[in-house]
Structure 1
Amino acid sequence: MTISDGTGTAAPGPPAQSPPVDRAGAAAAAPGGASSRRGWLGGDGGESAKRNLVLVAVLIALVAIGAITQAELYSDSTWVWNNFLSILQLASVIGVVTVGMTFVIIGGGIDLSVGAIVALAGVWATTVATQSYGAAGMIFTAIVVAVVVGLINGLLISYGRLVPFIATLAMLVAARGLAAQISNKQTQVSTNAVINDIASSKVLGIPLLVYILAAVVTAGWVLLNRTTFGRRTVAVGGNVEAARLAGINVKRHTVLLYALSGLCCGIAAIMLTSQGTSAQAAMANLYELDAIAAAIIGGTLLSGGRGTIVGSLLGVIIFATITNLFAINGLSTEAQNMVKGGIIIAAVLVQQFRFKAITRFLARNKLTRTT
């Protein structure tokens, strides 16, 4: 630029300064940058990998306990394989629900109504009128009912400005009540062979329910890690105001998150109906607690902004393995619930202390750079 010196001639001024370059961000974004040089155990992705390795170690420890306490059973390779499939089948329904719950928690919310939504979708899908439309009509009904209820949750939270805990707690009560009203407090039997065969069918020796779980988990992983929707979910859960300033429609995205949770509940309703060849208002009891617990065990932060689908799946399998371990050893359900409660508390405490430690480390690092 040029500046007049008052004599009519233009004197050269100071050169224009270029904006500062965010070298750390550039290094992280560039291939082979600082983040990639840290290896697969560095950065946020590395932190998730470490947590997942710990969960795998916990699973191995549980299997080892089973092998020690029931050496006779574990000496039979056929029994071990069948038991493994039984654990996966046991984890399939709650695993599908947990995928939707993981998205909601990462987005900064909570959904206490998932069990009630599964019950309502299952009851509505097994009414005589709905069953007259065949398997396609039952599946369509279950999914539509669950998604609509999820949308209502999202609208109440986003546009009604209700706290997620209160909104979904109210929906829990309302959905259970509506399911009881529709079914007249009776168990509704599914007479559709296609629906009933879902739980008993196997493909290449593996139950069809396990394939459904794998498909939902894969779709959830891709959605969270490879799409704009997933990045926006993390952004909304991490800092709502920052996400809004970045141009994200936070209200609409929140509605979509609860609709996604409803979609998972609709799929789970068909799976659970197939397992029992019936549906009732009391089905899927306490599924919301199991799903939340599995997500927390998998590393999903309760305050939002962090979580993985793989971690949540491992959390579900850990709880299913504990249930199986207690069953083969003839231990009571009460003892099993106490162990689960202890695991949940331990996981939350670990999250709290690790989060505080990381925050202090970043604060010290920032202070060192500025001085």
Structure 2
Amino acid sequence: MPAVATAPVDVAPTAWSGRDDGPGAEHLRWHHVVSVDPAAVTAGDVAFVGFRSDEGVRRNKGRPGAADGPRALRAALASMALPSRQRALDAGDIEVADGDLEGGHARLGRAVADLLDDGHRVVVLGGGHEVAYGSYLGLTGSGLLDDDTRLGVLNLDAHFDLRDEPVPSSGTPFLQMARDEQAAGRRLNYWVLGVSQPSNTTTLFRTADRLGVRYLTDTECGTLDRERVDAFVEEFLASCDVVHLTIDLDVLPAAAAPGVSAPAAYGVPIETVERVCAAIASSGKPLLVDVAELNPSLDVDQRTARAAARLVHRLLVTSAAAPVRATPELPEPQRPETD
């Protein structure tokens, strides 16, 4: 599929750089294969787009700084070694610098929809967890979904993020999704792995139950709970045709991910989180990923950035090797004309 013009971004992409051990495929790292030229990639290649926002975190009374997450995540990923050649596009960033989170969501949605319609696997680099709603707008605005396509949203997170607040924030994205799905005559197929009971009020658990949310708590996701976690992921994959995987880095223990707004006192071991990512990626189902809450100003020795980069790396390397399970052939999406 030829490259097409994508929706404009707020911040143009720049070339990646990193460690270089010499020429040849045996020395490949991510910075060698990422291009800022859409003409250099085709359908099936991964596309990165950043979401420079911590407006949602600010509204949710968290610690700001996640707007710098895309930069730190790119830097941590750039020098990771690739087992085989891939091609990738950096499409640039959407930036919420004026407090207009709703406008940022709309712009991110347009950028993600264009990349999906061009056949790319898309990874959105956040940003606060408000990024998840903008990613969702991209999915629902793309040609990837129709009335018969089952969307599944899997959130790796210590929090449900189902707060009922007067304005959107990093605590509201999945309730926003649920309301949009209800307005469209559907039920949000929402699953959460890693929920921390002390970090979620009874009201949030009741909201989750009312919406039919499936979840595992952090205490059910240890390294000795492999069978339970595997069964949960298998059930999730059986429930959907297209996957929206959203990773809030506060799902990890604070020792692995100190650089987040709300570090986890318990958390899910990175071994378990990576295993889940690999299972999702190996399914071959169309996949949209976003990674949220990396706050470089709170990080220690780049632990959180490195953990996030490893998860993204595992997802993309695994999905590149997986047999693709295509969704039914869909008509070209009809986009409204703009002035």
Fold-level match, TM-score > 0.5? no
TM-score, with normalisation over the residues of structure 1? 0.22
Q: Which has the larger share of helix? A: 1
Q: Which has the larger share of strand? A: 2
TM-score, with normalisation over the residues of structure 2? 0.24
Larger radius of gyration: 1
